[in-house]
Amino acid sequence: AQKITQTQPGMFVQEKEAVTLDCTYDTSDQSYGLFWYKQPSSGEMIFLIYQGSYDEQNATEGRYSLNFQKARKSANLVISASQLGDSAMYFCAMREGMDSNYQLIWGAGTKLIIKP
Amino acid sequence: EAGVVQSPRYKIIEKKQPVAFWCNPISGHNTLYWYLQNLGQGPELLIRYENEEAVDDSQLPKDRFSAERLKGVDSTLKIQPAELGDSAVYLCASSSQEDRGRGTDTQYFGPGTRLTVL
């Protein structure tokens, strides 16, 4: 079974509109972390935002916020006031557990295109 | 603060040739990762180092891939001999053990090396 599911392979959004990128996850661990990364066409994987499983507040970083719904196991990324430079691949990833053998589990990504 | 540095950015070789990629992590980050990313997919972990020790290399195809991090800082990933299927982007990332202790560990990535095997 997929541990990280991103159901939107691609999205077109008008500039200045808000965008929600979906991510659902599957884990039996109580302690885990959720990450969103942006990968523009240049190839670099850019860290955007992090949410810990015990964090009570939704994480926010500038125009990025993470809509964390623990019971539904979803961690959607919200980008407010989208800009042309937001066009990129977006990956959701999860880190399970706290022991030394953890690793990031990645979703397949969503390609976001912002239209002028 | 300087980010993760990788070189080269692009490499084109013929099959059966050797190739090496270099990575310099963020200063102070003792955990280093090498990932492979195929087009349209998420990264796949090849190997993870804690300081100079490879603590997870279960996904590294050891018949042709090798890696080293001799002094616990820079790392080199080598493929010998390269095959057509090795064409991909090779990403290096680093993170801090201190952040992991707080449960906020974040992996920071370099720009990657795009390998094309002809």
CA B85 – CA B89 distance, rounded (Å): 12
Provide the pLDDT for residue B104.
67
Provide the pLDDT for residue B56.
87
Q: For the segment B24-79, what is each residue's pLDDT rounded down to a tens digit?
A: 999 989 899 999 999 888 999 999 998 999 988 988 999 999 999 988 899 999 99
Q: Is B101 helix (H, G, I), strand (E, B) or coil?
A: helix
CA B109 – CA B43 distance, rounded (Å): 11
Asked if A98 is an interface residue toward chain B (Cβ–Cβ < 8 A), one would say yes
Cβ distance B109 to A107 less than 8 Å, yes or no, reads: no
Q: Is A84 helix (H, G, I), strand (E, B) or coil?
A: helix
Give Cα A79 distance to the centre of its chain. 10
CA B24 – CA B32 distance, rounded (Å): 9
Burial B7-19 (b: 16+ CB within 10 A, else e): eeeebebeeeeeb
Asked if A2 is an interface residue toward chain B (Cβ–Cβ < 8 A), one would say no
CA B22 – CA B76 distance, rounded (Å): 5
Give the pLDDT band (50/70/90) at residue B82.
very high
User: What mean pLDDT, rounded, does chain B reach?
Assistant: 91
Cβ distance A35 to B112 less than 8 Å, yes or no, reads: no
Provide the pLDDT for residue B100.
62
Q: For the segment A48-105, what is each residue's pLDDT rounded down to a tens digit?
A: 999 999 888 999 999 999 999 999 999 999 999 999 999 999 999 998 866 545 678 9
CA dihedral B77, A92, B108, A43 (to 10 degrees): 60
The chain A residue lying nearest B100, using CA atoms, is: A98
Asked if A100 is an interface residue toward chain B (Cβ–Cβ < 8 A), one would say yes
Mean pLDDT value of segment A12-30: 94
Which segments of chain B are extended strands (E)?
5-7, 10-13, 19-24, 31-37, 44-50, 53-56, 65-68, 75-79, 88-95, 108-109, 113-117
User: What mean pLDDT, rounded, does chain A reach?
Assistant: 91
Q: Which residue has the higher pLDDT, B6 or A30?
A: B6
CA dihedral B47, A21, A88, A61 (to 10 degrees): -80
Pairing of strands B113-117, B10-13: parallel
Place of tokens 């950015």: B9
Inform me whether the pLDDT recorded for B96 exceeds 90.
no
Of B40, B48, B112, Cβ closest to residue A43: B112
CA angle B88, B60, B84 (to 5 degrees): 35
Window 48-67 of A, Cβ < 8 Å to B: 50, 52, 54
Give Cα B73 distance to the centre of its chain. 13
Q: How far is B5 from chain A (nearest CA, A)?
A: 11
